[in-house]
Structure 1
C-alpha cells in the first residue's frame, strides 16, 4: 500500500502538469490558427503516439525487467515538454510538444502499471490498486486545470499558465527519485505462482476485450474538441472551460475509488453498465446550448475517463502471465491508442460537417462494444 500511495502521489503531480495544459489545448490551438480538423488530428495523433509506443516500452520492460529506468526516461520527457509550450507561437510547434508529451507518457506507463500490478496482489485486488492510483491521478487532473483557470481569469495568457506548470513538473521529478530509492525492486512484491504459464500467448478473451475497448476509445471525443466546441458556440467563456475540465477530473477521481472496489466484486457487469451510462456524454456536450447540459456532459465524460484509466487497464492484469504483463499492457494500450486516434480524427472531420453526425458516431461506436464486453464477462 505504501508503494501504491507513493506512485499515486507521483501521478498527482504528473496529472497536475499535463492535464492542466490539456484543459486549454483546444482553445490554445485555435488561437494559433488550428481548425477543428487539425485539433482532432493533433489530439488523436498524440493519443496514437502515447498509446502506440507502449508496445515498445512494454516489450523492453518485459525483456530487461528494468522497470524504473524506462519509467524515469518517460517521466523526464513528459515533464519537460509541458512547460516548454510557453515558448511556442504556432500550432505546428505546439503540436510537436503535445505529441512529445504523449510519447513520454507512452514510455513510462507500461512499466509503472506492471509495478502497480505487483503491489495489487498484496492489497486485495487489481481494481482497488488501480482505483486508488486513479484517485490521486484525477485529483491532480482537477487541481491543474483550476490553477490554469485562475491564471487566465486574472488576465494571464496561455503562455503564463504553461509556465506555472513547471512547478508541479519539478515536484514530480523529485518524487520520482524518492520512489526509485525507497522501492528499487517493486517486482519482489508479486506472487508469480498466481499466474499462468508465461510461455502461453494472450487468451482469446484478451483479444476480444481489446476490440471492445478500442470501440469505446474510438467513440470517446477528446476534451480538446469539446472545449473548442464550447468556445466556438459560446456555451462557456474561456475561463470556465478549464473549470469544467477540473469538475470532470474530480468526478473521475472520486468515482475511481468506488468503481475499483466494485469491479473487483462484480467484474464485467460493472463495465457494461458504465459503458452504457457514459456514452451519453456526447449529446450533452455537443448538442446542448445551456451550461447546465454542458456540466452534465462533463460529469459523464469524467466518469468515462475514470473507467478508461482504472477499470479498463485493471481488467487486463489477470488475463495474462506476470512475465508478459508489460507486453500485454503495451499491446493493449497501443491498439487502444490507435483506435483513439482514428476516432478523434473522424469525430473532428465529421464535426466540421455536422455536429449531429459526430454525436451519432460517438454513441454508436461505444454501444458496439457492449456485446463484446458481455461475451468476455461470461
Structure 2
C-alpha cells in the first residue's frame, strides 16, 4: 500500500520530469533546428569547408570537455539549478544568428551555445535523476527523452518550412522564429525551479551515499560501465558521416536527408519509452543491445541501396533511444547523491570525447578506404564493447550495486 507521503512525492516527481521534458522540448526545437543547417549557413556567410569543420568540431569538443568541470562545480556549490538556467539561457545565442553578417561572429554564437550545453547537462541530469528515483529511473529518463525528441522533430521541420517559403532568406526567418522556443525553455525552467527548489529531497530513501573520506570517489561499477560506454561510442558512426555517405553516393536526394534524420529522431523517442521500462524491469543487461544494433546500423547504413540505408537509419535511432535513456539512467544509480553532478559530467565527457574520436577516425577511414573502412572499424569496436560488457561483468556489477543500495 502506497503511503500518502509517497504518493505526494511521486506526483511532485512526475511534475518535475514533465517540466524538464518541456524545457528540453523547447531547447531541442532551437538547437536541433540549427544543427542541420549550420554548415550551409556558415558557407553562405563566406566560411570555407575547413572553417565549417573547425567550428563544428570545436563546438562539440567544448560542449563535452567542460562537462566534468561543470559537474564538479555543481556538486561543490550545490548550484544545479543555477547552472542549468545559465546553460539554457545561452541557447538564446542561436536566434541572434539572424543578425549576423560575418561567419566569424556566427561561429562564436554557435560555440557559445555548445558551452551552454556543457554547463546545463550534468546539472539537469542530476536534478532529473532525483525525480526519476521516485518513479523508476528508466521510466523517468524515458519520459524526458520522449518529450526531448518531439522538439528534435519540430526544429528541423521548422527550418525546412522557412527555407521553402523564403529560399536563402529563410535562414534569417528561421533563426528569428527560434526566439519563441528559446524563451519558452528558460521560462519553463524557472517555473520548475520555483516549484522544486531542492530536488534532492525527492531522492528515494536507500539511495547510495558518498563513501566516508571519499566524497569524490566513484565506485568500481561506475568505471566498468564507463569503459563499456567508451568502446561502444567509438564504433557508433555519427549521423553527419552517414549523411555524407548517402549524399556522396546519391543514394537519396539532398532534400530527403533531413527526413532521414527526422525518422531517426522519431524512432529514438519511441524506443526510449520501451527502453526505460526494460531497464527498470531487467536492469543494465538491456544495454547489451547497444553494440549489436550499432554494428548492424553501420553495416546497413553504409550501403548504396535505399532499403539498406533506411534500415541503418532505423537501427541508428534505436541506439540513440537506448543511449539517451538507459545509459543516462544508470549513472544515477551508480553514483551517490552528493556526487551526482560530477558523475554525469564524467559520463558525458567520456561519451562525447569517445564519439568525437570515433567520428574523426571513422571519417578518416571513409576518406581512405570508403565505406568498407567504416564498416570494419565500427564492427571491430562494437565487438570489443560487447566482449567488455560481459568480460567486465557490467550488468552483474550493476545488479550487485542495486542490491547493496537496497540493503
2:288 pairs with 1:272: yes
Residue 315 of structure 1 deviates from its aligned partner by 1.1
Counterpart of 1:69 in structure 2 is: 82
Distance 1:230 1:90 in 2: 30
Where does 1:59-98 land on structure 2 (aligned, <5 Å)? 59-77=72-90, 79-88=91-100, 94-98=106-110
Where does 1:34-73 land on structure 2 (aligned, <5 Å)? 34-35=48-49, 42-73=55-86
Unaligned 5+ runs, structure 1:
none
Distance 2:207 2:291 in 1: 30
Distance 2:265 2:147 in 1: 10
Once the two structures are overlaid, the 10-residue window that deviates more, 256-265 or 18-27, is 18-27
Is the Cα contact below 8 Å between 1:40 and 1:348 reproduced in 2?
no
Q: For the structure 1 residues 228 and 12, does the alpha-carbon distance in structure 2 shift closer, same or farther, using more than 3 Å as the test?
A: same
Distance 1:146 1:195 in 2: 43
Q: For the structure 1 residues 92 and 338, does the alpha-carbon distance in structure 2 shift closer, same or farther, using more than 3 Å as the test?
A: farther
Give TM-score, length-normalised by structure 1: 0.90
2:258 to 228, 234, 242: 242
1:104 to 106, 116, 120: 116
Is the Cα contact below 8 Å between 2:249 and 2:304 reproduced in 1?
no
Residue 91 of structure 1 deviates from its aligned partner by 6.2
2:164 pairs with 1:149: no
Counterpart of 2:395 in structure 1 is: 377
Unaligned 5+ runs, structure 2:
1-13, 397-407
Q: For the structure 1 residues 104 and 152, does the alpha-carbon distance in structure 2 shift closer, same or farther, using more than 3 Å as the test?
A: same
Backbone CA RMSD of aligned residues: 2.4
Q: For the structure 1 residues 305 and 95, does the alpha-carbon distance in structure 2 shift closer, same or farther, using more than 3 Å as the test?
A: farther
Residue 64 of structure 1 deviates from its aligned partner by 1.0
Counterpart of 1:12 in structure 2 is: 25
Give TM-score, length-normalised by structure 2: 0.84
Paired residue total: 374
1:24 to 30, 37, 46: 37
Residue 269 of structure 1 deviates from its aligned partner by 2.2
Bigger Rg, structure 1 or 2? 2
Deviations 1:230-255 (A, max 9, x none): 33333333332222211111110111
2:274 pairs with 1:263: no
Residue 84 of structure 1 deviates from its aligned partner by 3.2
Q: For the structure 1 residues 284 and 167, does the alpha-carbon distance in structure 2 shift closer, same or farther, using more than 3 Å as the test?
A: farther
1:297 to 308, 312, 321: 312
1:285 to 301, 306, 317: 301
Once the two structures are overlaid, the 10-residue window that deviates more, 279-288 or 25-34, is 25-34
Is the Cα contact below 8 Å between 2:293 and 2:318 reproduced in 1?
no
